[in-house]
Chains A and B, each alone.
Chain A
């Protein structure tokens, strides 16, 4: 393990450095997605005809994915509780279940993309579809990044190492979930 600087052991604010940094990460992520979604909402209101485009998105797939992400978030928080009780292997199991949820999410997303692209709803059909692919794609990247991070943490957690990271990666995962909670009505429900 690399050395821990003394700096990292101090906690003037009362919040451990990792969690404090994670909140700042999320703050900067909020503005990224905030800017993207604000742009989308503005252009959407500028183009009343985008409702017709949106009617081609699959509400069923979106709803199922919402369900999957909410459930994986539940696993993540259960993993956090297990980690707090010092039960590394149990936390790792929950984390792997969360990763599984992410995988299901991406799989559904892949089927959705395939269906849409083969039916002519490509990135270039209209700016609505460009936004659809850009927003869900950026979100998908976050899901994949979260899965990778979670896998790494799970490997450590299984051995009982770095259990505080379970909470950090969980907070990140919940954030990804929250982003999807907003993407779902914006892209799928508003028709």
Chain B
């Protein structure tokens, strides 16, 4: 983590200062190469994501067929059910969305897209991954310790989470919290590295308005993360003390306050939504511009809207707590800010739609994913209004409507966003093209199935289904055949969707082994990562690129080619 001489800048043609490490350990395990670290993050994230998906299978089956043994899992007890729900949420957000979208793609793309050889602090980067890996191991261990995994929901509201007398998971709860805290530290280090790299190490000629939008968005996301996570880290230390040594920071019997944790949690938790949203939004923009052969509509307006969203995201947090016992007058403030935040995001969506005007859209697999991101995310966006409005939230809070809403945001973000990026940059990562047919089968299977998973949840939620309940048998208004059928549809949709992921796995393996070799720039894209061979060599560029224009100059009139790479002089 050395800072070198500051005055040396713009050293185009600088050869890598360090030979490529050749041994297996140095190359694949203890690598400091940003591409390898990015792929490590991504691989860990994919494994955890699959695990999270299987957890969903287990608890959906229990909910649909209460009390019966779930094939492959066994009987899901209340204890196990709570642990599965909690860890499904935690894993999907902290161990799938964040490592894949920010750390994975961020590490892989940032140095390539801004035209430099590595992150500014390669060893800090490696440390960040190692801490993340440690946190992954801790969360996995927390699932199998005596007493079972933590079951107090991913929000971990005390006093339930603060005392083993309440949650009955004396080991699971502290380990879960420890894992989350470690994960935060890993991403803090990563975020500092990202921000410093993009601020300081851009290729000559790359002003702030020539940065590809995905890099911008990852940076904004990292800054949001760094600025919001601090109070929660402090709060987590206090909660860990409550759990392990028995202080009473959050226990009213000793003078603590349970609402304090809720505030600290959501002060982080709401910006966190944008932390994972923005990278996915950025990748979508990249892919849409390339396959629409269009300049991104109003690049600057999109960015200003994103900044506005980032700022507003810090003042909306208590809309998660409308019925939590907060001062009812504060609810007005947070209603207003919450509805206001829909404005910049609507603006971004309009700009994305407007990008398609006058386009020449090629429906390749990455483009299908990107378009489906916009289409699906809109559902998540508009249903958020119901929950941001305090009065309707009284009814909908903690119902399956909420579940459906945030899955319509997080599914596009985490899963569709991941597939968008992965299918688009696969040639760059591995030097081979993916199979289009399998890719399209996988796309249609997943997209159709996912709507069957979550649309029924809107209806059951409005009908009164509450979250995190492992059976509705005791509720006369909920244990009806009609609602049961809707839950069944949802569960079947999930199983179909999970099965279609096998197509993806097969596609990756087939393409890795027998895919067509990818040339440097198979998509005829403008950004700098396509300048270098696929996969990029150690040090990324044989000759460090210089930037002459913005990243979205497609179909410029008067040019023979319909693209104009950033590094080609006019």
Contacts and interface: CB of A to CB of B under 8 A. Distances in A.
Interface in B515-562: 539, 544
Contact of A32 (B2, B16, B231, B539): B231
B248 A17 contact: no
B245 to A, nearest CB: 6
B415 interface: no
Contact of B117 (A5, A11, A42, A123): A5
Contacts of B345: none
B120 A17 contact: yes
B227 A17 contact: no
Contact of A36 (B118, B192, B234, B247): B234
Contacts of A190: none
Contacts of A33: 230, 234
A118 interface: no
Interface stretch (A20-28, A82-90, A99-107): A20-28
B241 A130 contact: yes
Contacts of B247: 123-124, 127, 130, 134
Contact of B233 (A6, A14, A32): A32
Contacts of A110: none
Contacts of A10: 8-11, 116, 200-202
B17 A3 contact: yes
Contacts of A131: 249
A28 B230 contact: yes
Nearest to B261: A39
Contact of B3 (A17, A27, A43): A17
Nearest to A11: B6
Interface string B146-166: 000000000000000000000
A31 interface: yes
B17 A5 contact: yes
Given A5-B117, A12-B201, A130 B8 contact: no
B544 A6 contact: yes
A185 interface: no
Contacts of B117: 5-7
Given A7-B111, A9-B11, A127 B254 contact: yes
A12 B202 contact: yes
Contacts of A32: 230-231, 233-234
Interface in B344-359: none
A19 B3 CA distance: 8
A29 B188 CA distance: 10
B255 interface: yes
Interface in A104-129: 123-124, 126-128
Contact of A34 (B14, B230, B248, B254): B230
Helix, strand, loop or mixed for chain A's interface? helix
B260 A7 contact: no
A131 to B, nearest CB: 8
Given A7-B116, A35-B232, A35-B233, A16 B227 contact: no
Given A8-B120, A9-B4, A24 B227 contact: no
Given A35-B232, A35-B234, A138-B237, A7 B255 contact: no
Interface of B: 1-11, 14, 16-18, 32, 111, 116-123, 188, 191-193, 195-197, 199-202, 226-235, 237-238, 241, 245-249, 254-257, 260, 264, 267, 539, 544
25 contacts: A2-B122, A4-B4, A5-B17, A6-B14, A6-B117, A6-B201, A7-B201, A8-B2, A9-B8, A10-B8, A10-B9, A17-B3, A21-B1, A24-B195, A31-B228, A32-B230, A32-B231, A39-B260, A43-B260, A46-B257, A123-B247, A127-B247, A127-B255, A164-B3, A168-B3
> Nearest 4 CB-CB pairs, A to B?
A31-B230, A35-B231, A3-B18, A18-B3
